[in-house]
A and B are shown apart, each in its own frame.
Chain A
Amino acid sequence: MNARASAQLLRLSCGSRHREKLLRNCSAERGLQSRTTPEFKANSTTRDHLHVPQLLLLSAQRPRDNDEEGQRRTMMASFGQHITGALRGSCLKTTKQGGNGLRGLEQQFTNTLRLGPTVTSRRCMTTQLVTEADFKTIQAAPHLDLNALRLPSHARPVPVSPSYFSRTPRFNDSYLAIQKLLRSYDKLPMIPSTAVERVTWCDLETIRRRLGEPVRASDYSRCLALIKKLHSIHPQMKPGPVKEALEGFKRSVQGFQNVAKPIPIDRFGRAVGVGKRKSSVARAWVVEGTGEVQINGKSLAGAFGRVHDRESAIWALRATDRVDKYNVWALVEGGGTTGQAEALTLAISKALMAHEPALKPALRRAGCVTRDPRKVERKKAGHLKARKSPTWVKR
Chain B
Amino acid sequence: MSAPNCLRCLTRPSTAVLRHSIAVPNAVASWTASAPFSTTATAAAGPTKGARPTSQPKRMETGHIRSGRRVTISKSKHRKQAGARGKTPLPGERKAYRKKIQLSNSNALHVHWLSDLDAKHMLDAANVTKVMGLPDALVDQLRAVEAFKPKQTWGFFRKPSTLIRPETVDLVTRMQQAATDKQTLKLVLDGDKLTGKSILMLQAMSHAFFNEWIVIHIPEAQELTTAVTEYAPIPGTDPVQYMQQNYALKLIQNIRKANEKVLVRMATAYSHPEIPQQMPIGSSLMQLANSAKEPENAWTIFMALWKELTANTRGRVPILFALDGLSHIMKVSDYRSPAFELIHSHDLALVRLFTDCLGGNISLPYGGAILAATTRNNVQRSLSMELAIAQREAEQLGAEKPLRQAYIRGYDHRVEAAMRAAQVIKVKGINKLEARSLMEYWAASGVLRTTVDELSVSEKWMLSGNGVLGEMERASLLTMRI
Given contacts A291-B462, A314-B463, contact A307 B468 (CB under 8 A): no
B465 contact from A290, A300, A317, A324, Cβ within 8 A:
A300
B461 contact from A291, A298, A302, Cβ within 8 A:
A291
Tell whether, in the assembled complex, residue B67 and residue A301 are in contact, meaning their CB atoms are under 8 Å apart. no
Q: Which residues of A lie under 8 Å from residue B153 when comparing CB positions?
A: none
Interface residues of B in 412-465 (CB under 8 A from A): 429, 432, 454-455, 458-459, 461-465
Q: Which residues of B lie under 8 Å from residue A394 when comparing CB positions?
A: 67-68
Task: Check B466 for interface membership: any CB of A closer than 8 A.
Answer: yes
Q: Give min CB distance, A337 to chain B, whole Å.
A: 15
Q: Give min CB distance, B465 to chain A, whole Å.
A: 3
Give the residue name and chain of the A residue nearest to B470 (CB): A301
Tell whether, in the assembled complex, residue A300 and residue B466 are in contact, meaning their CB atoms are under 8 Å apart. yes
Task: Check A292 for interface membership: any CB of B closer than 8 A.
Answer: yes
> Roughly how many angstroms separate A314 CA and B454 CA in the complex, as a whole number?
17
> Roughly how many angstroms separate A367 CA and B68 CA in the complex, as a whole number?
52
The count of chain B contact residues (Cβ–Cβ below 8 Å) is 22
> Roughly how many angstroms separate A39 CA and B459 CA in the complex, as a whole number?
115
Task: Check A350 for interface membership: any CB of B closer than 8 A.
Answer: no
> Roughly how many angstroms separate A314 CA and B464 CA in the complex, as a whole number?
12
Tell whether, in the assembled complex, residue B471 and residue A318 are in contact, meaning their CB atoms are under 8 Å apart. no
Tell whether, in the assembled complex, residue B455 and residue A323 are in contact, meaning their CB atoms are under 8 Å apart. yes
Task: Check B116 for interface membership: any CB of A closer than 8 A.
Answer: no
Tell whether, in the assembled complex, residue B463 and residue A324 are in contact, meaning their CB atoms are under 8 Å apart. no
Q: Which residues of B lie under 8 Å from residue A318 when comparing CB positions?
A: 459
Q: Which residues of A lie under 8 Å from residue B471 when comparing CB positions?
A: 301
> Roughly how many angstroms separate A293 CA and B429 CA in the complex, as a whole number?
13
Task: Check B390 for interface membership: any CB of A closer than 8 A.
Answer: no
> Roughly how many angstroms separate A103 CA and B68 CA in the complex, as a whole number?
104
Tell whether, in the assembled complex, residue A323 and residue B468 are in contact, meaning their CB atoms are under 8 Å apart. no
Tell whether, in the assembled complex, residue A324 and residue B454 are in contact, meaning their CB atoms are under 8 Å apart. yes
Is chain B's interface secondary structure helix, strand, loop, or mixed overall? Answer: helix
A301 contact from B66, B459, B468, Cβ within 8 A:
B468
Give the residue name and chain of the B residue nearest to A302 (CB): B465
* Count of chain A to chain B residue pairs whose CB atoms are closer than 8 Å in the complex: 54
Task: Check A310 for interface membership: any CB of B closer than 8 A.
Answer: yes
Tell whether, in the assembled complex, residue B462 and residue A293 are in contact, meaning their CB atoms are under 8 Å apart. yes
Task: Check B76 for interface membership: any CB of A closer than 8 A.
Answer: no
Q: Give min CB distance, A119 to chain B, whole Å.
A: 89
Tell whether, in the assembled complex, residue B463 and residue A291 are in contact, meaning their CB atoms are under 8 Å apart. no
Q: Which residues of B lie under 8 Å from residue A252 when comparing CB positions?
A: none
Task: Check B296 for interface membership: any CB of A closer than 8 A.
Answer: no
Instruction: Indicate with 1 or 0, residue by residue over B123-138, a CB within 8 angstroms of chain A CB atoms.
Output: 0000000000000000
> Roughly how many angstroms separate A324 CA and B461 CA in the complex, as a whole number?
9
Interface residues of A in 335-394 (CB under 8 A from B): 394
> Roughly how many angstroms separate A302 CA and B465 CA in the complex, as a whole number?
7
Q: Which residues of B lie under 8 Å from residue A299 when comparing CB positions?
A: 192, 429, 465-466, 468
Give the residue name and chain of the A residue nearest to B195 (CB): A301
> Roughly how many angstroms separate A300 CA and B459 CA in the complex, as a whole number?
12
Task: Check B240 for interface membership: any CB of A closer than 8 A.
Answer: no
Tell whether, in the assembled complex, residue B458 and residue A323 are in contact, meaning their CB atoms are under 8 Å apart. yes
Tell whether, in the assembled complex, residue B463 and residue A300 are in contact, meaning their CB atoms are under 8 Å apart. yes
Q: Give min CB distance, B360 to chain A, whole Å.
A: 34
Q: Give min CB distance, B64 to chain A, whole Å.
A: 11
Interface residues of A in 273-306 (CB under 8 A from B): 290-293, 298-302
Task: Check A321 for interface membership: any CB of B closer than 8 A.
Answer: yes
Q: Which residues of B lie under 8 Å from residue A302 when comparing CB positions?
A: 192, 465
Q: Give min CB distance, B240 to chain A, whole Å.
A: 42
> Roughly how many angstroms separate A321 CA and B475 CA in the complex, as a whole number?
18
Q: Which residues of A lie under 8 Å from residue B192 when comparing CB positions?
A: 299, 302
B466 contact from A293, A311, A317, A324, Cβ within 8 A:
A293
Q: Give min CB distance, A312 to chain B, whole Å.
A: 11
Q: Which residues of A lie under 8 Å from residue B194 when comparing CB positions?
A: 301
Task: Check B250 for interface membership: any CB of A closer than 8 A.
Answer: no
Q: Which residues of A lie under 8 Å from residue B466 when comparing CB positions?
A: 292-293, 299-301
Task: Check B479 for interface membership: any CB of A closer than 8 A.
Answer: yes
> Roughly how many angstroms separate A324 CA and B462 CA in the complex, as a whole number?
8
The count of chain A contact residues (Cβ–Cβ below 8 Å) is 20
Q: Which residues of A lie under 8 Å from residue B401 when comparing CB positions?
A: none
Q: Which residues of A lie under 8 Å from residue B454 when comparing CB positions?
A: 324
> Roughly how many angstroms separate A302 CA and B479 CA in the complex, as a whole number?
18
Given contacts A310-B475, A394-B68, contact A301 B458 (CB under 8 A): no
Q: Give min CB distance, B452 to chain A, whole Å.
A: 14
> Roughly how many angstroms separate A51 CA and B447 CA in the complex, as a whole number?
110
Tell whether, in the assembled complex, residue A301 and residue B455 are in contact, meaning their CB atoms are under 8 Å apart. no
> Roughly how many angstroms separate A300 CA and B471 CA in the complex, as a whole number?
10
Q: Which residues of B lie under 8 Å from residue A301 when comparing CB positions?
A: 194, 463-466, 468, 471
Given contacts A300-B466, A302-B192, A394-B68, contact A291 B479 (CB under 8 A): no
B464, B465, B474: most-surrounded residue (chain A CB, <10 A): B465
Given contacts A307-B475, A324-B455, contact A300 B462 (CB under 8 A): yes
> Roughly how many angstroms separate A300 CA and B465 CA in the complex, as a whole number?
4
> Roughly how many angstroms separate A88 CA and B55 CA in the complex, as a whole number?
110
Tell whether, in the assembled complex, residue A314 and residue B67 are in contact, meaning their CB atoms are under 8 Å apart. no
Give the residue name and chain of the B residue nearest to A298 (CB): B465
Q: Give min CB distance, A294 to chain B, whole Å.
A: 9
Q: Give min CB distance, A204 to chain B, whole Å.
A: 51
Q: Which residues of A lie under 8 Å from residue B468 when comparing CB positions?
A: 299, 301
Q: Give min CB distance, A215 to chain B, whole Å.
A: 55
> Roughly how many angstroms separate A317 CA and B464 CA in the complex, as a whole number?
15
Q: Which residues of B lie under 8 Å from residue A291 when comparing CB positions?
A: 458, 461-462
Q: Give min CB distance, B299 to chain A, whole Å.
A: 41
Q: Which residues of A lie under 8 Å from residue B432 when comparing CB positions?
A: 290
Q: Which residues of A lie under 8 Å from residue B459 when comparing CB positions?
A: 318, 323
Interface residues of B in 313-333 (CB under 8 A from A): none
A314 contact from B455, B462, B474, Cβ within 8 A:
B462
> Roughly how many angstroms separate A292 CA and B458 CA in the complex, as a whole number?
9
Give the residue name and chain of the B residue nearest to A293 (CB): B462
Interface residues of B in 51-102 (CB under 8 A from A): 66-68
> Roughly how many angstroms separate A310 CA and B460 CA in the complex, as a whole number?
10
> Roughly how many angstroms separate A298 CA and B192 CA in the complex, as a whole number?
11
Instruction: Indicate with 1 or 0, residue by residue over A317-334, a CB within 8 angstroms of chain B CB atoms.
Output: 110010110000000000
Given contacts A394-B67, A394-B68, contact A310 B463 (CB under 8 A): yes
Given contacts A300-B463, A307-B463, A394-B68, contact A324 B475 (CB under 8 A): no
Give the residue name and chain of the B residue nearest to A314 (CB): B462
> Roughly how many angstroms separate A323 CA and B465 CA in the complex, as a whole number?
13
Tell whether, in the assembled complex, residue A321 and residue B463 are in contact, meaning their CB atoms are under 8 Å apart. no
Give the residue name and chain of the B residue nearest to A303 (CB): B465
> Roughly how many angstroms separate A310 CA and B429 CA in the complex, as a whole number?
17
Instruction: Indicate with 1 or 0, residue by residue over B159-197, a CB within 8 angstroms of chain A CB atoms.
Output: 000000000000000000000000000000000101000
Give the residue name and chain of the B residue nearest to A395 (CB): B66
Q: Give min CB distance, A240 to chain B, whole Å.
A: 60
> Roughly how many angstroms separate A321 CA and B192 CA in the complex, as a whole number?
28
> 12 new A-B pairs (CB below 8 Å) besides A299-B465, A323-B458, A323-B459?
A299-B429, A299-B468, A300-B462, A300-B466, A301-B465, A301-B468, A302-B192, A302-B465, A307-B463, A310-B475, A311-B463, A323-B462
Q: 17 interchain pairs (CB within 8 A)?
A: A290-B432, A290-B458, A293-B462, A299-B429, A299-B468, A300-B463, A301-B463, A301-B464, A301-B465, A302-B192, A307-B479, A310-B463, A310-B465, A314-B462, A314-B463, A324-B455, A394-B67
Which B residues are within 8 Å of any A CB, using their own CB? 66-68, 192, 194, 429, 432, 454-455, 458-459, 461-466, 468, 471, 474-475, 479
Question: Which 6 residue pairs are nearest across A and B when measured between Cβ atoms?
Answer: A301-B465, A299-B465, A324-B458, A394-B68, A301-B471, A323-B458
